[in-house]
Amino acid sequence: MWPSSILRFLSRLGLGLLIGGFLTLLLVRFAPGFGVDERELDPALSEATRTRIRNQAEQRSIWRSYANYVEGALHGDFGTSSSLNTPVRQLLADRAPVTANAVATGLALAWIIALPLAALTVVWKACEIPFMAANVLLLCLPAGLVAVYFFLMGLPSTGVIAAGVAPKVFIYSREMLIASERRPHVLGAIARGVHPWRVLWLHRVMPAAPEVLALLGVSVTIALGTAIPAEALCDSPGLGQLAWKAAVSRDLAPLLAITWLMTVVAFTANAFGAAVTSSQRTWRE
């Protein structure tokens, strides 16, 4: 059972990497401004230099280009960033720990804050609106302003990531807990006079745990997605900043590598969530 599941997961992942990378290549190659460099407009440069800059763009056919990238990736060579003049492998090695640390910390912060607050609003109705207002406030503030505020508090991209993920975790987990209110066993426990906190913990939170864990998988993807603007705004030298710079300058090599990395993380996180949910179903059956 396990080996076949792992094999299935790996084959899905491989297919996802191939298709995802190719789609990224297509998107970037056909995006306006691909192969264009601002220095083409610099009158201080000679015609020859400007022509050389112009001709640096990718000239190979899309298929050949992708085949070369895949072949290189299989050998650990992800190409060279045209905007940073640095091997992508080195960029990934330098920046991945920064992002991993920020995402992990941001995620942990988001969950530590959001989940208990969501549970609290379910039990204590009086705090519902204030907490909801605080949650909505985080959604309504421009990310740039949040970045500056967090910088002032000494919390760079970590805080911005937490601020981006926490509202979603709060809302989803709160809805899951509210949905569990109508479950027969919960109604039964309430009818029997079980204390609200005991009902919350034993009959609502614990049974909802697999769904909440599945949400964890999604929140990893959300956190990674939030890391891109967060790092760009906070000037944190992580993968998110690299992705933003690469997108703005249409730098294909790092974009491909980051897409592959995001694909691995998304597939793994969501497979984890699906496995948890299906194991719960198996147990129930």
Partner 1 sequence: MKWASRMAWAFLILVYLVALAAPWIAPAGYADQFRDHAGERPSARFPLGVDELGRDRLSRLLYGTRVSLFLAPVAATISVGLAFAIGLTAGLATPFLARTLDLVIDLLLSLPTLFLLLIARAMLPLNASPFASVLLTFLLMGALGWPASARVLSGASRALRGSTFLVQARALGCSSAGRLAIQILPNLWPLVVAQFFFLVPIFILAEANLGILGLGVSEPLPSWGSMLGELTNPAGISRAPWILAPAALLLMVALSFHIAGKQEKALS
Partner 2 sequence: MRRFSPVLCAVVLAGQAWAQTGGELHFAISDDPKTLDPLQVTDEPSDAIRYLTTGTLVRIDRKTFELKPELAESWRVSEGGRRISFKLRSGVLFSDGSSLDAEDVAYTMRRILDPKTQVPAGDQLRPENGSPTVTVLNPREVSLLLPNPVGGLEALFDAVPILSSRSMLKERAGLGPFIFSEYKPGAFLLLKRNPNYWKKDDRGRPLPYLESVRIEIQQNREIEMVRFRRGELHLMSALDVDSFDQIGTAQGALDAGPTFDSEMLWFNQVPNAPIPAYKKKWFLSTAFRLALSEAVQREDIVKLVYHGRATPAAGPFSPSAKPWADTRLKPTAFDPEGASRRLAAAGFRRENGVLKDSAGNAVEFSLITNAGNRNRARMASLLQQDFQRLGIKLNIVTLDMPSLVERINRGFQYEACLLGLTGTHLDPNDQLNMWLSSSSDHVWNPHQTAPETQWEAEIDRLMREQSSTSDPVKRKPLIDRFQAIVHDQAPIIYIVHPDALVAVSSRLGNAAPSVLRPRVFWNAEQIYLSDGSGGKP
For partner 2, the binding residues (CB under 8 A) are 32-34, 36-53, 83-86, 91, 94-95, 144, 147-148, 151-152, 232-238, 241-242, 245, 248-250
Partner that binds at residue 167, options partner 2, partner 1, none, CB closer than 5 to 8 Å by kind: partner 1
Sign of CA dihedral 193, 197, 198, 204: positive
Partner that binds at residue 243, options partner 2, partner 1, none, CB closer than 5 to 8 Å by kind: partner 1
* Closer residue to partner 2 in complex, CB, 38/285: 38
Structure tokens that stand for 276 in this block: 């948890």
What one-character DSSP code corresponds to residue 80? Answer: E
Partner that binds at residue 95, options partner 1, partner 2, none, CB closer than 5 to 8 Å by kind: partner 2
Partner that binds at residue 45, options partner 1, partner 2, none, CB closer than 5 to 8 Å by kind: partner 2
* Exposed e or buried b per residue across 144-177, where buried means at least 16 C-beta atoms within 10 angstroms of its C-beta: eebbeebbeeebbbbbbbbbbbbbbbbbbbbebb
Question: Smallest distance from the beta carbon of 138 to partner 2, in angstroms?
Answer: 19
Helices and strands per DSSP (H, E), number in the chain? 12, 2
Q: Are 87 and 253 in contact (CB under 8 A)?
A: no
Partner that binds at residue 278, options partner 2, partner 1, none, CB closer than 5 to 8 Å by kind: partner 1
Structure tokens that stand for 193 in this block: 């006079």
Q: How far apart are CA 212 and CA 98, in angstroms?
A: 27
| Binding residues for partner 1 (CB under 8 A) | 12, 15-16, 19-20, 23-24, 27-28, 30-33, 125, 128-129, 132-133, 136-137, 139-145, 148-149, 152, 167-168, 171-172, 174-176, 178-179, 184, 210-211, 214-215, 217-218, 221-222, 225, 229, 243, 247-248, 255, 259, 262-263, 265-267, 270, 273-274, 277-278, 280-281, 284-285
Nearest CA to 229 among 221, 241, 245, 238? 241
